[in-house]
Structure 1
Amino acid sequence: MASSFSLFFSFLLLLLAISTCCSTNPEGEALHVLRTRLHDPTNVLQSWDPTLVNPCTWFHVTCDDHNRVIRLDLGNSNISGPLGPELGSLKNLQYLELYRNNFEGKIPKELGNLKNLVSMDLYGNQLQGEIPKSFGKLKSLRFLRLNNNKLTGSIPRELASLSNLKVLDVSNNDLCGTIPIDGPFTSFPLGSFDNNSRLNGPELQGLVPYDFGC
């Protein structure tokens, strides 16, 4: 009898272990994939344990009352490496704060899937390539700071449809083409576009612009 009970108890423990390992959290998985891409010399991401059911106990991650990730704070963390499409899986994210690190490569177009995003701060990195046109889908976005990177290409016209956008900073990049003149762009100060030697527009030169080099 005792032997049967022991066998049954062991079977229950096995089921529990299987249930635990299979109760994956998509947001936790996405963040763990991001971590595997990055170089973290000061162990800022040490608490990002993929064996936990959800990432709400991790440092630099904030969740709402339903254990959904709404904020990622990794500013000034001495982290380097590429960003990946997995960030687009954080569907409830409202604040993406990755400023003043050494992130490199292109900005993933999948960030355009973050429909609840209010603030995106990617400034002060080594990001290259173009500003994704998919950012035009971020209708809740109020703050977009991409300054002090190595971004190229033109400013996507899709950004002019972001009626809630209050702050835009793309200064100190290598952008080209013309600056949109409608939507929220009517209120952005000229400093938002400083130090882009190939960027032209009525706001900058008072002339009908040409897309030199774009």
Structure 2
Amino acid sequence: MAKAEQQVVLSRILLLLLVFHPQVNGLSNTEVDALYSLKSNLIDPDNVLQTWEPDNVNPCKWFHVTCNNENSVIRIDLGHASLSGHLVPQLGQLSNLQYLELFGNNFSGVIPGVLGNLTNLVSLDLYSNNFNGAIPDSLGNLSKLRFLRLNNNSLSGSIPYSLTYITSLQVLDLSNNNLSGEVPSSGSFAQFTPNSFANNPLLCGTLAAKPCPGAPAFSPLPPYAVAPTPMSS
């Protein structure tokens, strides 16, 4: 075979490899599929997701998406974006995601349990939306999580004890929901105050500042020491 013919054959092989490479072919790129599935379930009146298209096969070039050096999605920033709709289970495919910032929108429906698969997640901010249903027990799998803010939603049910096993948890806000039952006070929860659970009328326990039914009343706090008034000369 002549050298010129060999170069033509090699060029065609390289072209085929590029066409069918998973990072180029949107149909086989799970991160593109996951993000586009999310977009397809949302109402976006301000068109903030205009670049989220399956034929734009590199999500690292999409608005509000950040990637690492390996071109894998590590951050989604969509706070206060006027979005509404439901989260999709395909979000659980974003295995390297570290920050999911969806606060201040009109998201509704339940929080998908598959978010517990995002074991690299550092921050989960879903506050100030319209989420309902229970807090998924699977969120206790997020061993690297430092910030969990689910406040100002319509979440119900009990607080999963699995969350107390997240030793990295530094900030927790579950206030202004419809949660019920006893607030766990062990593990990582020992560092939090009643502010993290405020305005959930059906919560009880030490961290809810309200005795649970059938439990003894809390002991009164010791009186503050009052310094003696100095006598006038």
What TM-score does the superposition give when structure 1 sets the normalisation length?
A: 0.88
Deviations 1:86-117 (A, max 9, x none): 11110000000000000000000000000000
Partners of 2:59 and 2:80 in 1: CA distance? 21
Give the match for residue 140 of structure 1. Answer: 144
The answer as to whether partners of 1:42 and 1:78 remain within 8 angstroms in 2 is yes
Give the match for residue 32 of structure 2. Answer: 28
Give the superposition deviation at 1:176: 0.2
Partners of 2:48 and 2:126 in 1: CA distance? 18
Give the match for residue 74 of structure 1. Answer: 78
Superposition pairs for residues 53-202 of structure 1, below 5 Å? 53-202=57-206
Give the match for residue 226 of structure 2. Answer: none
Partners of 1:16 and 1:96 in 2: CA distance? 33
Partners of 2:213 and 2:169 in 1: CA distance? 24
Give the match for residue 224 of structure 2. Answer: none
* Residue 203 (str. 1) matches residue 192 (str. 2): no
Q: Where does the alignment leave 5 or more consecutive residues of structure 1 unmatched?
A: none
The answer as to whether partners of 1:92 and 1:116 remain within 8 angstroms in 2 is yes
- Quote the RMSD (CA, aligned, Å): 2.3
Question: Cα–Cα, structure 1 residues 127 and 22, in superposed 2: closer, same or farther, change >3 Å?
Answer: closer
Give the superposition deviation at 1:17: 8.4
The number of equivalent residue pairs is 204
What TM-score does the superposition give when structure 2 sets the normalisation length?
A: 0.81
The answer to which of 18-27 and 49-58 deviates more is 18-27
Give the match for residue 218 of structure 2. Answer: none
Q: Where does the alignment leave 5 or more consecutive residues of structure 2 unmatched?
A: 216-233
Over 2 Å off, 4+ runs: 12-24, 202-211
Give the superposition deviation at 1:202: 2.3
Give the match for residue 225 of structure 2. Answer: none
Give the superposition deviation at 1:205: 3.8
Give the superposition deviation at 1:147: 0.2
The answer to which of 134-143 and 46-55 deviates more is 46-55
Partners of 1:84 and 1:169 in 2: CA distance? 23
The answer to which of 33-42 and 20-29 deviates more is 20-29
Of all paired residues, the percent bearing the same amino acid is 53
The answer as to whether partners of 1:116 and 1:138 remain within 8 angstroms in 2 is yes
The answer as to whether partners of 2:193 and 2:207 remain within 8 angstroms in 1 is no
